[in-house]
Amino acid sequence: MTATVCQVQSCIYHRSPERCSRDQILVAVKGARAFCSSYRNHDLYETGPDSDTLYMSSQAVDFHPEVGCQAAGCLYNTDGLCYAAAIEVIGDNALDSTETLCKTFLPVDEDDANAEERVDLSLHVD
């Protein structure tokens, strides 16, 4: 399971310190940027789809959401799921999902047969 470090404090799912309360998130791609498409601005939503977790204590919520990934060219994407040990999502003052950024996104050059050898494979979780 991929650990999630979320620094997007404007998201309705953000929990202190740097946690995400969603049970699933999706990383999408626009151009060369990977972003959290599950982001919802807390100023626009009184409650979200996961409103049953909004007011739970930190101890009551599993802060390791399943991470779906549409970044087909990312080293950590296997069959639409992220297999990095952890991802980090940033986006100070984000107003919508495309203003967030998956810092773990690691594009792979399809012609580079040695790409995986250059990455510490201990980051992968089976």
User: In the block, which residue shows the tokens 């979200």?
Assistant: 48
More confident residue, 49 or 65: 65
Does residue 105 form part of some domain?
A: yes
Measured between alpha carbons, how far is 80 from 59 in angstroms, rounded to an integer?
A: 29
For residues 31 and 23, give the distance between their C-alpha atoms in angstroms, rounded to a whole number.
26
> What is the predicted pLDDT for the residue at 125?
37
Range of the domain at 82: 3-119
Reported as a pLDDT band with limits 50, 70 and 90, residue 120 is very low
Asked if residue 45 is part of any domain, the answer here is yes
Give the mean pLDDT of the chain.
Answer: 80
Classify residue 70 by its DSSP letter: -
* pTM of the predicted structure, to 2 decimals: 0.74
- Asked whether residue 126 is assigned to any structural domain, the reply reads no
Number of domains in the chain: 1
Residues 88-108 pLDDT 10s: 999 988 999 999 999 999 998
Q: Is residue 95 part of a domain?
A: yes
What does the pLDDT average to over 28-39? 94
Q: Is residue 37 part of a domain?
A: yes
Q: Residues 6 or more apart from 120 whose CB is under 8 A from it?
A: none
Does 124 fall in a domain? no
Q: 1 vs 4, 62, 68, 123, CA distance in Å?
A: 9, 11, 11, 12
Write the CA distances from 99 to 29, 75, 118, integer angstroms. Answer: 12, 22, 29
Is there a domain that residue 103 lies in? yes
